[in-house]
Structure 1
Amino acid sequence: MKEFERKQLLERANREAATIGADIPDVIDVQGEEVELRDFVFEIKRRDTVPEGEKERVETAKRNLRRERLQRLQKIEDNEVSFEEGEKLVESIIGIDRALNALEQLRPKDLEQEEKMQEAADKKRWMNFLKQALGRDDASSKRRGGRP
């Protein structure tokens, strides 16, 4: 492969917006094991959050996908493949990136619970502030002789 072709492939593989409109591959060979990537991502994504029992499985999948991405990119960088093979590798790298993006957007279950608790505490603080600002705080209204 010519140098400009190699650079073109590398640029495409590392482009920030490359995953826009890209599909997650149905099946991909990751670390020598065939993985039904699309089904896995959609199965996990349907839940919106990562259940406690699935957290390790998702983290392992993300690590393996990152490793596989780097290995495929390295083949292009080291000029070990033809331009046609490089194009196929770039497409698979973009598919891996798309899957990683989807998995990275998931929140662990415990973070969701923490977020709900934080939101409840924020609402409580806001209501207390409004009561005080409007003079409807029970303690302050009793001191001024107002109605509770």
Structure 2
Amino acid sequence: MKEFERKQLLERVNREGATVGATIPETIGVQGDEVDLQAFVFEIKRRDTVPNGERERVERAKKNLRRERLQRLQRIEDGEVSYAEGERLVESIIGIDRALNALEGLGPADLEREAEAQEAADRKRWMKFLRKALGHEDTGHSTRGRL
């Protein structure tokens, strides 16, 4: 592969918006194993959040995808592949990026913690209302135990 071709390929990988319109590969070889990447991402994405039991699996998948992306990018950077193989690597890297973007956008599903935080906020508002209604406005003194 010629130097300018290598630079073109690297520019395509690093281009902002490279994943726009890109598809997630159906399967991909990651760390020596074939992974049904598209099915995995759609299964996790369908849930909107990552359940506690799946969080470790998703984090491990993201770590392996990042490692695989780096290895493929390194092959292009080193110039050890033909231009045609470089094209295939670029497409797979962009597909990996698309999958990573989809997985990164998911938040943890910790409904118990959210419910506890909501309950604590409600309790705080209620206590503030009671203090105000009973004429115990907060004057810098603790009213703990007086209500």
Q: Return the TM-score normalized by structure 2.
A: 0.80
Displacement of 1:83: 0.9
1:139 to 134, 137, 143: 134
Q: Deviations over 1:55-85 (max 9, x none)?
A: 1111110011001000100000000111111
Question: Residues 123-134 of structure 1 correspond to what in structure 2 (within 5 A)?
Answer: none
What residue in structure 2 maps to residue 59 of structure 1? 59
CA distance 1:126–1:83, shift in 2 (3 Å): farther
Aligned residues: 136
In structure 1, list runs of 5 or more residues that go unmatched. 142-148
Does the C-alpha gap of structure 1 residues 116 and 4 become closer, same or farther in structure 2, counting only changes over 3 Å?
A: farther
How far does residue 51 in structure 1 lie from its aligned partner after superposition? 1.0
Q: How big is the shift at 1:21? A: 1.2
Structure having the larger proportion of residues in helix:
1
In 2: Cα distance, 1:105 partner to 1:113 partner: 21
Q: Percent identity?
A: 66
Q: 1-side partners of 2:45 and 2:69: how far apart?
A: 21
1:4 and 1:81 map into 2 onto residues whose CA distance is 14
Q: Which amino acid aligns with 1:46?
A: R
> Partner of 1:88 in structure 2?
88
Gaps of 5+ in 2: 137-147
Deviation of residue 140 (structure 1)? 3.2
Aligned to 1:15: 15
By how many angstroms is 1:16 displaced? 2.5
Please, what is the CA RMSD of the aligned residues?
A: 2.3
Relative to the length of structure 1, the TM-score reads: 0.80
Q: Quick one: distance in 2 between partners of 1:16 and 1:127?
A: 49
Q: How has the CA–CA distance of structure 1 residues 140 and 89 changed in structure 2, closer, same or farther, with 3 Å as cutoff?
A: same
Deviation at 1:120, TM superposition (A): 5.9
1:49 is matched with 49
Separation in 1 of the partners of 2:56 and 2:76?
31
* 1:116 CA drift (Å): 5.4
Following TM superposition, by how much is the alpha carbon of 1:117 offset from its aligned partner in structure 2, in angstroms?
4.8
